[in-house]
Structure 1
């Protein structure tokens, strides 16, 4: 895993947005201590809580992990060059995180047994799809749950509430793509009509 400094990056973006720890916590609906613990790297935030905090600024997950944009457009990436954006339990490795003007995200996802994206279902603009490469995943989309195994695939509108859970005893590996490239539309607002 890359030694990405989550705490320093959060602080950098928070200061850029001119928010105090308290103000950011209030907007994101988390406790004050959560922000300071994350900035001190005392706790590692889950994907869903990091997303809530970033939405409150607003900033996108991909912007968060891109750090300083590098301008060159790489074509080939070694496994070690993918950017880890998982939460310490599940691993999501993003292809081309620093590529300028990316129009999609391709992610190599690994879910150890018991890994779960969380009770608070993910919802964001765009669409996503993927193919299960190994293992079994339980995918719930808009209230419908399916067990998918190696070779099975999915494709859905990301505005539908969704959740990935590995209910098996083996690691599950998925290669997924989503569009637009962030996990957030950046406005912090979600319109449901």
Structure 2
């Protein structure tokens, strides 16, 4: 699914595989393999491809049906996993509109990204289980179960799990740009 979507978006923009790869800072072979569903790109590679296409990350998984009411079943959520950083995201909103809601799961010692990054949104995170450090512009904000943190996502940020247990959290971002 994601390979087909990337190919469609690349073609709509009149880009070759090599041009998209250069803009994203990834190998042409990776783009080619992803488009043919021969490889699963990392979360970091997906972020770079989305940025090169000037789109939010989860728009790469966007559903074409613009229904006014959407029910997203737990077993059919779009999921993105980064094994190297210990983070998994599942989209609980339909992937269109002005609001994006994600469920995050972060392993002990894990982080949402190797380095802080930014995107044009506002974001609110709510900790469901465990502990979470929200690093924004170099400042750490420690959250416990039930705590939330709101911030301007254009500031460099990332999430860290300093605990010895997994952390579960919900992120709401508007407009969608994750």
Question: TM-score interval w.r.t. the shorter chain?
Answer: 0.7 to 0.9
TM-score, scaled to structure 1: 0.79
Cα 1:41/1:114, change in 2 over 3 Å: farther
Cα 1:35/1:82, change in 2 over 3 Å: same
Q: Is the 8 A contact 1:44 1:87 kept in 2?
A: no
- State the Cα deviation string for residues 26-80 of structure 1 (Å, max 9, x = none): 111222233223334444333332122122123332321114x213222544322
Q: CA RMSD in A?
A: 2.2
Partner of 1:93: 90
Q: Is the 8 A contact 1:65 1:85 kept in 2?
A: no
Partner of 1:106: 101
Cα 1:33/1:167, change in 2 over 3 Å: farther
Q: Is the 8 A contact 2:103 2:171 kept in 1?
A: yes
Paired residues, what number?
A: 176
Partner of 1:28: 24
2:52 to 38, 41, 56: 56
In structure 2, runs of 5+ residues without a counterpart are none
- State the Cα deviation string for residues 70-118 of structure 1 (Å, max 9, x = none): 132225443224322444652212123255xx11111111112343222
Partner of 2:67: 72
TM-score, scaled to structure 2: 0.85
Cα 1:59/1:181, change in 2 over 3 Å: closer
Moved more, 142-151 or 74-83: 74-83
Q: Is the 8 A contact 1:70 1:98 kept in 2?
A: no
Moved more, 33-42 or 151-160: 33-42
How many Å separate the matches in 2 of 1:25 and 1:75? 34
